[in-house]
Chains A and B, each alone.
Chain A
Amino acid sequence: MSADAPDRGTGEGLAGRVRDAVLGASARLTLLAVVAALGIGAVVLALSAEETRAALEDGPGSALVAAGGAVGRAYAALLQGSVGSLGALSETLVAATVLILTGLAVTVPLRAGLFNIGGEGQVIAGGLIGGAVGFAVTGLPTVVHLPLAIVAAAAGGALVGWLPGLLKARTGAHEVISTIMLNNTLTFVLIWILTLPLVQVEGRSDPISRQVLDTARLPRLLEGLRVDAGILLALLVAVWVLWFLDRSTTGFELSAVGANPAAATAAGMDPARSTITGMTVAGMLGGLAGGALIVGLQGRVTPGFSAGLGFDGITVALLGRGTVVGTVMSGLLLGALKAGGRAMQARSGTALDLVTVIQALIIVFIAAPGVVRAMFRVRADVGEGARISQGWGS
């Protein structure tokens, strides 16, 4: 399949277990997980639909018909809105751009046994700093200004990823807690920064940044559609990550430390340095996602522009089973789900949050393959229920 395709059941050490946990179950189980999640989503939708409750007064039979109709309409709109037209495909790619990058931001540290929940804070930092370069630096041609803004976004995100890495390496503070606290901190710091005189749109009292200059905006790929060069950036970055993890020395150290810190130390590697590197690269990828969003589609920084993107990245990475190619593919799939979800909300009035429920169910089934197996009576596979993360003590 791909260069980073798994070899099954190479069991020992954390990376082995990570691989078994996220790669071990077969592609069939992944598919079943998606199907099962869509199925349960349909039940939730049917139970909560307005029509079902209205029809319930005419008896259970007509309620069932009404529920089926509601589910059919919603899922048809979902499909139509994700791949049904060129415009829909464009929306899918727009959503996938950010998802691929935030997904990679989880995939990379996972190799070192680190669980990055700080995607949201990293997106905020990247978007804010990339955007600031975009609107504050003037007089540059596009060929200089746009790359500058994107590098600045990557650097901003990297800084936010580096801090929890450093804290973990030096004091043992678990990255799950420190990244989440950074998310919350940066959410409020963002609101404050957006009201500063050099950042805020003149004459506005609400927190909103100036418009990114045209010389720093990602160009649109097709006339009249929203898809921009961000998707190309995301794919390019994915290729780099593939090289980084599988071909570079630093990437090798990352996996080695994740697999067995003691052995890696004995071989002369420094687990603390790998922890810091893993989180910094993760932050860089999250920052790129934020930058791509701000100098791309959005054009200005607003409070809450990053809401939920970090958790989306976790879904993407887990669905991608920890591989780069898998992450890109699941980014496209969940991008379709997201774009379709918006169309569904507009056309059939079903709340977009249903997509969040479906996403969560997908990872439940990925993380606990036994659940899917129990549902569909599939045979056992290698590497069941292995640990992906580390506890507080390690």
Chain B
Amino acid sequence: METTATALRRRRRFAGFGLVLGLVVLGLLRADAGVRTTFVLNDARGARFPLPDLVVPVTGTVRGLALVILALAVVQALRGFGRRDAAMVGVMGGLAVLALLTWAGGGTSISVVSLLRGTLFAAVPIAFGALAGVLCERSGVINIAIEGQFLAGAFTAAVFASVLGSAWWGLAGGILAGALVGLMLAGLTIRFAADQIVSGVVLIVFATGVTSFLTSQLLAGTPAWNAPVRFQAFALPGLSDLPLLGPIVFDQTVLVYLMLLAVAAVQFGLFRTRWGLRLRSVGEHPAAADTVGIGVLGTRYRAVMLGGVLAGIGGSWFTLEAASQFSKEMTGGRGFIALAAMLVGRYSPVGALGAGLLFGFADALATALQRLPVPIPSSLLRATPYVITIVVVAGLVGRLRVPAADGKPYVKA
């Protein structure tokens, strides 16, 4: 385990982080004293069991939250929280975000429901991409190409849904394209034992080139091929009437439900089935797996292809739910955020969902803040998810346990 010296250094670093955070929050003052922020807890369309709005005074709330953060930082510095150190950093960050929202929403109202709905919605590509990464890397293949799978999936989903006139066909197209890029990655890294990170980067450039080329060459001339029929939100009867939780979780689009199902399925499959055990063994010690009769290369092929299927679903989100048509390079680096989410989620499907929700929240928060009278330029707000990724990866990756054979081609001795 960790030596006391590094643990102490880490504790000090966390405490320093909390101290700075608390002081920044304390600095969030508003000139107009006595102003209040309203947190709306109901769906805009009306709820069957309405909740009262939460109205809080800005100054008092922000100061109170700052004091709690500072107190936590002091405790952190003095004796630490042991195993809950990292969690406490999360708590401090959460409190700071709450203070930021209270401050930004002063004089107006913030819809908690639409913020959290947006979080779940924006988490879809990140979670699917991270799941794809988990499957590939647990089997020993680094998948940098998620961004390329997103682009290919988004493009094909748009064309299929436009030409065949159904969002479900679009989803099928997205899955096909994602799996195809997965097959190319598998071929390069497994069959030809090429460098895995270079192969991934190459496939991103390739997918970017092909989709951009076909967009200007084909779609620009025939707009009917780029007018996808999109998925509509549908409420699950009964469950969607629950207060707060109903409109956030149970009145969503198809891919959000699919994401929750996929996370549960992969989590169960990886850790509770023979298939998952074999997949993980191939990623940890392929030679041993080979000895007991598990086909290493075949298992890796299937894992990478299945990852491609999941990444393809994530790619479909861009054109079947988020935007109304395909445009060049529309994925905007989300494939890499998914990669970071996989690392933050520590190679576990549930962790991938959690990290996806974190980044989704950053996305939704940036969108929500753009609508409020906040003196922060919108271009800087749009950069926040990327900055968060750097901070989180820098804070966590060093302490990751990577699958032992991750990134190493298997050559039978």
Question: Which of B58-66, B102-110, B336-344 contacts its partner?
Answer: B336-344
- Band of interface residues on A: 35 or more
B205 touches A173 (CB 8 A): no
B205 touches A185 (CB 8 A): no
- Chain A 350-394 per-residue mask, 1 if CB under 8 angstroms from chain B, else 0: 110111111111011001111100000000000011111111110
Q: Is residue B370 within 8 Å, beta carbon to beta carbon, of the partner chain?
A: no
Give the residues in chain A near B217, CB-CB below 8 Å.
48-49, 350-351, 353
Size of interface on B: residues with Cβ below 8 Å to A: 57
Q: Is residue A188 within 8 Å, beta carbon to beta carbon, of the partner chain?
A: yes
Q: Is residue A39 within 8 Å, beta carbon to beta carbon, of the partner chain?
A: no
**Taking CB as reference atom, which chain A residue is nearest B212?**
A353
A391 touches B142 (CB 8 A): yes
Give the residues in chain A near B336, CB-CB below 8 Å.
177, 180-181, 184
B198 touches A356 (CB 8 A): no
B389 touches A371 (CB 8 A): no
Q: Is residue A63 within 8 Å, beta carbon to beta carbon, of the partner chain?
A: no
Cβ-neighbour of A393 out of B387, B393, B402, B409 (below 8 A) = B402
Chain A stretch 88-142: residues in CB contact (< 8 A) with chain B: 115, 117
Instruction: State the CA gap A350–B212 with chains docked (Å).
Output: 12
Q: Is residue A4 within 8 Å, beta carbon to beta carbon, of the partner chain?
A: no
Cβ-neighbour of A188 out of B196, B214, B380 (below 8 A) = B380
**Taking CB as reference atom, which chain B residue is nearest A50?**
B221
- Chain A 160-204 per-residue mask, 1 if CB under 8 angstroms from chain B, else 0: 000000010001111011101111110111011001000000000
**Taking CB as reference atom, which chain A residue is nearest B334?**
A184
Q: Is residue B386 within 8 Å, beta carbon to beta carbon, of the partner chain?
A: yes
Q: How far does the Cβ of B132 sit from chain A's closest Cβ, in whole Å?
A: 16
Give the residues in chain B near A192, CB-CB below 8 Å.
377, 379-380
Q: Is residue A44 within 8 Å, beta carbon to beta carbon, of the partner chain?
A: yes
Q: Is residue A323 within 8 Å, beta carbon to beta carbon, of the partner chain?
A: no
Q: How far does the Cβ of A189 sit from chain B's closest Cβ, in whole Å?
A: 6
Q: How far does the Cβ of B123 sit from chain A's closest Cβ, in whole Å?
A: 18
Q: Is residue A314 within 8 Å, beta carbon to beta carbon, of the partner chain?
A: yes
The B interface is mostly helix, strand or loop, or mixed, namely helix
Give the residues in chain A near B193, CB-CB below 8 Å.
368, 370, 384-385
Instruction: State the CA gap A393–B188 with chains docked (Å).
Output: 22
B209 touches A189 (CB 8 A): no
Cβ-neighbour of B333 out of A184, A359, A363, A386 (below 8 A) = A184
Instruction: State the CA gap A171–B398 with chains docked (Å).
Output: 5
A393 touches B198 (CB 8 A): no
B389 touches A353 (CB 8 A): no
Instruction: State the CA gap A185–B408 with chains docked (Å).
Output: 31
Q: Knowing A368-B188, A388-B195, A389-B197, say if A177 contacts B393 (CB, 8 Å).
A: yes
Cβ-neighbour of B409 out of A311, A359, A385 (below 8 A) = A385
A167 touches B202 (CB 8 A): no
Instruction: State the CA gap A192–B384 with chains docked (Å).
Output: 13
Q: How far does the Cβ of A324 sit from chain B's closest Cβ, in whole Å?
A: 19
Instruction: State the CA gap A184–B216 with chains docked (Å).
Output: 24
Q: Knowing A314-B201, A385-B193, A391-B142, say if A357 contacts B407 (CB, 8 Å).
A: no
Give the residues in chain B near A391, CB-CB below 8 Å.
142, 196-197, 402, 406-408
Cβ-neighbour of A173 out of B221, B394, B402 (below 8 A) = B394
Chain A stretch 222-267: residues in CB contact (< 8 A) with chain B: none
Instruction: State the CA gap A390–B142 with chains docked (Å).
Output: 10
**Taking CB as reference atom, which chain A residue is nearest B395?**
A171
Give the residues in chain A near B397, CB-CB below 8 Å.
171-174, 392
Q: Is residue A29 within 8 Å, beta carbon to beta carbon, of the partner chain?
A: no
Q: Knowing A351-B216, A368-B199, A387-B407, say if A195 contacts B333 (CB, 8 Å).
A: no
B377 touches A367 (CB 8 A): no
Q: How far does the Cβ of A128 sit from chain B's closest Cβ, in whole Å?
A: 14
B213 touches A356 (CB 8 A): yes
Instruction: State the CA gap A358–B201 with chains docked (Å).
Output: 14
Give the residues in chain B near A387, CB-CB below 8 Å.
195-196, 407-409
Give the residues in chain B near A185, CB-CB below 8 Å.
383, 386-387, 390
Chain A stretch 321-364: residues in CB contact (< 8 A) with chain B: 350-351, 353-361, 363-364
A360 touches B402 (CB 8 A): no
Cβ-neighbour of B400 out of A176, A180, A390, A393 (below 8 A) = A393
B197 touches A184 (CB 8 A): no
Q: How far does the Cβ of B262 sit from chain A's closest Cβ, in whole Å?
A: 23
Give the residues in chain B near A354, CB-CB below 8 Å.
209, 213
Q: How far does the Cβ of A388 sit from chain B's closest Cβ, in whole Å?
A: 4
Cβ-neighbour of A360 out of B209, B377, B407, B408 (below 8 A) = B209
Cβ-neighbour of B206 out of A50, A167, A172, A361 (below 8 A) = A361
B199, B208, B395, B397: most-surrounded residue (chain A CB, <10 A): B397
Give the residues in chain A near B216, CB-CB below 8 Å.
351, 353
B202, B395, B398, B409: most-surrounded residue (chain A CB, <10 A): B202
Q: Is residue A215 within 8 Å, beta carbon to beta carbon, of the partner chain?
A: no
A181 touches B205 (CB 8 A): no
Instruction: State the CA gap A33–B216 with chains docked (Å).
Output: 26
Instruction: State the CA gap A183–B198 with chains docked (Å).
Output: 18
Give the residues in chain A near B208, CB-CB below 8 Å.
311, 356, 360
Q: How far does the Cβ of B260 sit from chain A's closest Cβ, in whole Å?
A: 26
**Taking CB as reference atom, which chain B residue is nearest A166?**
B394
Give the residues in chain B near A368, CB-CB below 8 Å.
188, 192-194, 199
Instruction: State the CA gap A363–B193 with chains docked (Å).
Output: 15
Q: Is residue A21 within 8 Å, beta carbon to beta carbon, of the partner chain?
A: yes
Q: How far does the Cβ of B1 sit from chain A's closest Cβ, in whole Å?
A: 17
Q: How far does the Cβ of B380 sit from chain A's closest Cβ, in whole Å?
A: 5
Q: Is residue B218 within 8 Å, beta carbon to beta carbon, of the partner chain?
A: yes
Q: Is residue A155 within 8 Å, beta carbon to beta carbon, of the partner chain?
A: no
**Taking CB as reference atom, which chain A residue is nearest B409?**
A385
Q: Is residue A318 within 8 Å, beta carbon to beta carbon, of the partner chain?
A: yes
Binding site for B on A (CB under 8 A): 21, 44, 48-50, 115, 117, 167, 171-174, 176-178, 180-185, 187-189, 191-192, 195, 311, 314-315, 318, 350-351, 353-361, 363-364, 367-371, 384-393
Nearest 8 pairs of A and B residues by beta carbon: A391-B407, A356-B209, A172-B398, A385-B193, A360-B206, A368-B194, A353-B213, A357-B209
Q: Provide 14 A-B residue pairs closer than 8 Å at the C-beta atoms, listed in order of the A residue.
A: A172-B397, A173-B390, A180-B336, A356-B208, A360-B202, A363-B198, A364-B199, A368-B199, A371-B188, A385-B193, A388-B195, A391-B196, A392-B407, A393-B406
Please name 4 further chain A to chain B contacts, defined as beta carbons within 8 Å, in addition to the given A115-B198, A356-B208, A367-B198, sorted by A numbering.
A174-B393, A351-B216, A360-B205, A367-B202
